[in-house]
Amino acid sequence: MSMEFEQESGAVLERLDALRAADAPTHGGRVLSYVYDSGIAEIDALAAAAVRAVQPVNALDPTTFSSVAVMEREIVGFARAVFHGDDAVVGTVTSGGTESCLLAVKTAREIWRADAAARGVDHRATVPRIIAASSVHAAFHKAAEYFGLRLELVPVDPASGLPAVADFAALLADADDVALVVLSAPSYPHGVIDPIAEVSALAAAAGISCHVDACFGGFVLPWWPGLDAASWDMQLPGVTSLSADLHKYGYTPKGASVLLQRGRDRQRKQYFATTGWPGYPVVNSTLLGSKSAAALAAAWAITQTLGQSGFAELTASCARATATLLDVIRGIDGLRVVGEPTGPAIAVTADETVPAERRVDPHHWADQARTHGWQLQLQPGFDQAGTTRPGGAWLPATAHLTVTPVTESRLPELSAALVTAADEVRGVPHVDVGPLLGSLGAALGGSLPETLDAATAYAMLSGIGLAPGAQDAGAADAADAGAGALPDRLAPFLALVEALPPAVAEPLLTELIARLVEP
Ligand SMILES: *Cc1c(COP(=O)(O)O)cnc(C)c1O
């Protein structure tokens, strides 16, 4: 290769290093969401070597690239053993949790359509429903939108984070338009496990598909102390599919999840196949066509190397760290843990039982913890009025902590920071967005619009100081260092998200993200 290429590529890689330096730290446990750090450098090195080995492979075709079939078969076998599936349970490695969930919904829709046809019902005249708790992952909102279903939500109790079995029972009786029931193990927002045994039995009795979304917990819950797998996994006969993310507690680079399905005929509905064009015959198990084998190979290498005993050890570390953090947070005056988390996710809200001056607002707490170098995730308060129970209770704002194996080694520092941050914001009330909303409305000629075009959304973002690129246009270095950086304090922004109707908040957020990548 020419000297010139070497020089250019060297400079480009140097720039990449600089860009990466501006990212949130992926290792060391300081970011308590998005990244799942095993704390073991050899696992990352193993993944990197596996990625490298398959870099040029196209996982589109497992007959041309047979390594893909072998690795996928062995991961599915591992998952089937871990989740106690019998010989009729088959599966697929997908690109992530969202894709696993999308495919579970797509499969259930095909099954429902076939059943409707068998009953002599015209499925095109009905929009089928998905029934799930309001805490179900957003991927199911996306699936409903993409595949033309209606998501009907059951409220969760703000104290426990759990839905009532009776609400599911009421919706499933005599419901021939329900294509799928979804239950979480555990739910991402609150880290609690839905009543899977009870509701999957109801679904089975009604002949309705039932998916367990274990995207978050899949690769920790099987080894979680004191948890009976018979309460949530595929040994429950009513569970027809289950998703579990390898790129979370499988410690694999992003791009891998497993979807298990009960029964070959069910799973074949997940596939897309066509001979209806003059090119090569197409058979796709997942949404993508040509695709990388990188995360698949990394996940395969990690699962083969660690085995169940390796996962058990890493899970034990997560469980110890979670138990300690629960004690620490429960000991902080003014904060309350939502429900009884099972697994390594904790949701924390303000303790409404103490007087206002002793309460700790979770969003101010999270913002303050960030100044001490720890990133908790801010989750907005949520209006459950749109769920099946009219006037469903408001879910208060929370801070979310995802605990990973590396957390255990950082417990003294992290615990101290959580306590200090709470002391520093105790008594500060949740952001009142009234004035902000008022000025936004005024800037837009008196009232908030019902829908937003891109220009209006951008004007609104500018009005609240969140327009990407507005400050450092032209300053390439500054843009590199802080490309897309949010303000130091997220509490006001989250309060705005809570207060705006979705028809305004959603395009506003879209604009915020879309502008980041505009050249
Ligand atoms: C992460 C997650 C998903 C979606 O997964 P992605 O990998 O982010 O696409 C779905 N459900 C739950 C419970 C999750 O935690």
Residue 479's pLDDT is: 54
Helix axes 41-53, 294-330, angle to 10 degrees: 160
Residue 483's pLDDT is: 57
Measure 231 CA to ligand 1 centroid, in angstroms.
21
Ligand 1 pocket, residue 101 CB under 6 Å:
yes
Residue 386's pLDDT is: 85
Ligand 1 pocket, residue 112 CB under 6 Å:
no
299 and 340 assigned to the same domain: no
What is the DSSP secondary structure assignment for residue 6, as one 8-state letter? Answer: H
Residue 2's pLDDT is: 86
Examine residue 186 and say whether the peptide bond preceding it is cis (omega within 30 degrees of 0). Answer: yes
Task: Out of 260, 277, 304, pick the residue that ends a domain.
Answer: 304
Give one DSSP letter per residue of 210-246, joined into a string.
EEEE-TTTTTTGGG-TT--GGGTSTTSTT--EEEEET
Measure 215 CA to ligand 1 centroid, in angstroms.
5
Q: For ligand 1, pick from 32, 211, 216, 251 the residue to mutate: most ligand atoms within 8 Å of CB.
A: 216
pTM, to two decimals: 0.96
| Domain-located, residue 276 | yes
Residue 158's pLDDT is: 95
Per-residue confidence in pLDDT tens, the chain, 519 aa: 788 999 999 999 999 999 999 999 999 999 999 999 999 999 999 999 999 999 999 999 999 999 999 999 999 999 999 999 999 999 999 999 999 999 999 999 999 999 999 988 888 889 999 999 999 999 999 999 999 999 999 999 999 999 999 999 999 987 899 999 999 999 999 999 999 999 999 999 999 999 999 999 999 999 999 999 999 999 999 999 999 999 999 999 999 999 999 999 999 999 999 999 999 999 999 999 999 999 999 999 999 999 999 999 999 999 999 999 999 999 999 999 999 999 999 999 999 999 999 999 999 999 999 999 999 999 999 999 888 877 689 999 999 999 999 999 999 999 999 999 999 999 999 999 888 888 777 767 777 777 789 998 998 888 888 887 654 444 455 556 555 667 889 999 899 999 988 888 999 999 999 999 999
How far apart are alpha carbons 428 and 431 in whole angstroms? 9
Residue 127's Cα: distance from chain center in Å?
26
Residue 470's pLDDT is: 53
Is residue 327 within 8 Å of residue 414, measured between CB atoms? no
CATH number, domain with residue 157: 3.40.640.10
| Domain-located, residue 18 | no
203 and 346 assigned to the same domain: no
| Domain-located, residue 31 | no
Q: CB under 8 Å to 322, separation ≥6 — which residues?
A: 341, 343, 344, 346, 403
80 and 222 assigned to the same domain: yes
Residue 224's pLDDT is: 98
| Domain-located, residue 218 | yes
420 and 438 assigned to the same domain: no
| Domain-located, residue 152 | yes
Q: Which of 215, 218, 243, 213 is nearest to 229 (CA)?
A: 218
| Domain-located, residue 17 | no
Q: Which residue minimizes the CA distance to atom 3 of ligand 1?
A: 97
110 and 188 assigned to the same domain: yes
64 and 183 assigned to the same domain: yes
Ligand 1 pocket, residue 97 CB under 6 Å:
yes
Q: CB under 8 Å to 199, separation ≥6 — which residues?
A: 165, 168, 181, 183, 210
How far apart are alpha carbons 448 and 401 in whole angstroms? 34
Query: Which domain covers residue 327, as residue numbers?
Result: 307-425
Q: Which residue minimizes the CA distance to atom 5 of ligand 1?
A: 97
| Domain-located, residue 2 | no
Measured over the CA atoms of residue 38, residue 41, residue 42 and residue 44, the dihedral's sign is positive
378 and 451 assigned to the same domain: no
Residue 388's pLDDT is: 83
370 and 227 assigned to the same domain: no
Q: For ligand 1, pick from 32, 34, 36, 98 the residue to mutate: most ligand atoms within 8 Å of CB.
A: 98
Is residue 463 within 8 Å of residue 508, measured between CB atoms? no
Measure 212 CA to ligand 1 centroid, in angstroms.
12
58 and 162 assigned to the same domain: yes
How far apart are alpha carbons 160 and 336 in whole angstroms? 11
Structure tokens at 264: 């070959």
Q: For ligand 1, pick from 193, 215, 379 the residue to mutate: most ligand atoms within 8 Å of CB.
A: 215
String of b and e for 396-428 (b: at least 16 CB within 10 Å)? bbbbbbbbbbbbbebbeebbebbeebbeebbeb
233 and 378 assigned to the same domain: no
Task: Out of 304, 328, 350, pick the residue that ends a domain.
Answer: 304
**Helix H or strand E encompassing 169:** helix 165-172
Task: Out of 276, 304, 332, pick the residue that ends a domain.
Answer: 304
Q: Which residue minimizes the CA distance to atom 4 of ligand 1?
A: 97
How far apart are alpha carbons 280 and 273 in whole angstroms? 11
Give burial (CB, 10 Å; 0-12/13-18/19+) of 95: buried
361 and 244 assigned to the same domain: no
Is residue 326 within 8 Å of residue 346, measured between CB atoms? yes
Ligand 1 pocket, residue 139 CB under 6 Å:
yes
What is the DSSP secondary structure assignment for residue 198, as one 8-state letter? Answer: H
196 and 134 assigned to the same domain: yes
| Domain-located, residue 475 | no
- The domain total for the chain is 3
